[in-house]
Amino acid sequence: MNVFYNDKTDLLYLRLDNKNQEIINKRISDEIVIEIGKNNRIVGIEILAASKHVNLQNLFPVKYKISKEPVFAGV
């Protein structure tokens, strides 16, 4: 699992499966998008306004990368 957080956009992205595969984005709320891959498995979760939904301090000791660049081209 990879965890990416952009502090400028407050976007948190959890990538559960790193396999290169076709995905379908399913918006489950205004601020949460789930990526569904092969065999209807969840491969990623995108959370907009992340600090409003997740206590970012609780991500520790998970290793994460703070990115100054957009995580995706589509966001």
Distance, in Å, from the CA atom of 42 to the CA atom of 52, rounded to the nearest integer, reads 22
Whether the model clears a pTM of 0.75, i.e. scores above it, the answer is no
| DSSP β-ladder status, 2-6 and 65-66 | parallel
Q: What is the pLDDT of residues 9-35, one digit of tens each?
A: 999 999 998 889 999 999 999 999 999
Q: What is the pLDDT of residues 57-71, one digit of tens each?
A: 776 565 656 666 665
